[in-house]
């Protein structure tokens, strides 16, 4: 099921979302200050390319303060807008029965887009 879901996801726009995150990550990594945020954008690009069969896991880190600080900066600079976009797309896809699996994947992307620091993809 996840292979079919990922193929349909890529064909129906997942590649575009992934490329946007990839280009954003490259732009962020051009500055020294933006490198941690660019890495998180690459994480979103990976999940946006093949979301079916993957899950987001919160792992405890030794840099708790930096993780929280970077999540707060991410939230106010762009995370809220990225999350809102994925939630709007999730609602749009959930209106049809056939789009419900895609709605679930956009909801998963929305949770990662809101606070990506301290989370990994498995």
Q: Is-contact 94 100, C-beta < 8 A?
A: yes
Give the Cα separation of 21 and 50 in Å (integer). Answer: 13
| pLDDT per residue rounded down to tens, the chain (122 residues) | 799 999 999 999 999 999 999 999 999 999 999 999 999 999 999 999 999 999 999 887 766 788 999 999 999 999 999 999 999 999 999 999 899 999 999 999 999 999 999 999 99
Q: Domain limits of the chain? A: 2-121
Distance CA 86, CA 56 (A): 16
- CA atoms of 89 and 77, how far apart (whole Å): 20
In what helix (H) or strand (E) does residue 57 lie, and over which residues does it extend?
strand 56-58
What are phi and psi for residue 56, nearest 5 degrees? -100, 130
User: pTM for the full model?
Assistant: 0.92
96 burial type by CB count under 10 A (0-12 exposed, 13-18 middle, 19+ buried) = exposed
């Amino acid at each position: 099921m996840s292979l079919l879901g990922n193929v349909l996801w890529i064909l129906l726009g997942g590649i575009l979302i992934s490329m946007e995150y990839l280009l954003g990550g490259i732009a962020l990594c051009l500055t020294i200050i933006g490198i941690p945020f660019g890495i998180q954008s690459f994480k979103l690009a990976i999940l946006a390319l093949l979301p079916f069969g993957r899950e987001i896991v919160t792992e405890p880190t030794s840099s708790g303060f930096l993780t929280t600080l970077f999540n707060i900066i991410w939230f106010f600079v762009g995370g809220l807008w990225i999350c809102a976009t994925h939630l709007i797309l999730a609602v749009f896809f959930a209106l049809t029965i056939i789009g419900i699996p895609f709605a679930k994947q956009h909801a998963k992307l929305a949770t990662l887009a809101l606070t990506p620091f301290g989370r990994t993809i498995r």
